[in-house]
Amino acid sequence: MGNLINKAVDDFTVQAYDQGRFREITREDTLGHWSVFFFYPADFTFVCPTELGDLADFYDDFKEAGCEIYSVSEDTHFVHKAWADASDTIKKIRYPMLGDPAGVLARSFGVLVEEEGQALRGTFVVNPEGKIKVYEIHDMGIGRNAQELLRKVQAAQFVEEHGDQVCPARWKPGEETLTPSLDLVGML
């Protein structure tokens, strides 16, 4: 798998379970705003609901940052609905849950484990033009942190808006950034 930074998200059309209804989501729907594609192995499992619940807890913060979340598994939109009906954690989700039973999205993002028919835990931050700006991929047993993901979205947004500045480790909005220059070389 090669580098995905600045790769445009491929065209896609999938079915989603979204707040009590089914709807179609396409690549076009993800343009014009920041997006997080949040791949996870499967519904009705163990680590997955902790991650999706964590994202649900921070959803308003992502929306305030102008970012939509799209969770994705190889389950169908019907299974997503059944999971929401069965789990209080999943029931509180207000972001679209994309069904990818054919593995089109997972394969396109390079996270599909073909022999298992499941996706690795891949997280992709995509800018309003549909280009990947941040990504990380975890093995199936390693959960992610929504608060750190939100920080990465905010840093990507800052860097895109202020191309002459960069965000140091643990940077949060409102904190000092760095302006790369010859004067900084070896001084940090």
The burial of 118, by beta-carbon neighbours within 10 Å (0-12 exposed, 13-18 middle, 19 or more buried), is given as buried
- Report residue 145 as tokens: 């942190």
Looking at domain 13-184, its CATH architecture is 3-Layer(aba) Sandwich (3.40)
pLDDT score of 1: 59
In the chain, what are the domain boundaries? Answer: 13-184
- Distance (Å) of CA 27 to CA 101, 157, 175: 17, 20, 33
CA distance 109 to 122: 8
109, 37 contact by CB (below 8 A): yes
Q: What is the distance, to the nearest Å, from the Cα of residue 181 to the centroid of all Cα atoms in its chain?
A: 32
Q: Which amino acid is residue 3, in one-letter code? A: N
pLDDT of res. 58 = 98
Burial class (CB in 10 A: 0-12, 13-18, 19+), 147: exposed
Measure the CA–CA gap between 168 and 122, rounded to whole angstroms. Answer: 23
Summarize pLDDT for 34-59 with one digit per residue, the tens.
999 999 999 999 999 999 999 999 99
List C-alpha distances in Å: 178 to 115, 160, 162, 166, 169: 45, 14, 11, 5, 11
Return phi, psi of residue 132, to 5°: -70, 125
What SS3 state is found at 34?
strand
Instruction: Show the low-confidence residues of the chain (pLDDT under 70).
Output: 1, 184, 187-188
Q: Could you give the dihedral angle defined by the CA atoms of residues 91, 92, 97 and 101, in that order, rounded to the nearest 10 degrees?
A: -30
The per-residue pLDDT for range 57-80, each reduced to its tens digit, is 999 999 999 999 999 999 999 999
Cα distances from 52 to residues 7, 20, 42, 138, in angstroms, run 25, 16, 11, 15
pLDDT at residue 183, rounded to an integer: 74
Q: Is 167 a catalytic residue?
A: no
From the list 9, 16, 48, 134, the catalytic residue is 48
Cα–Cα distance for residue pair 24/6, rounded to 1 Å: 25
pLDDT at 2: 79
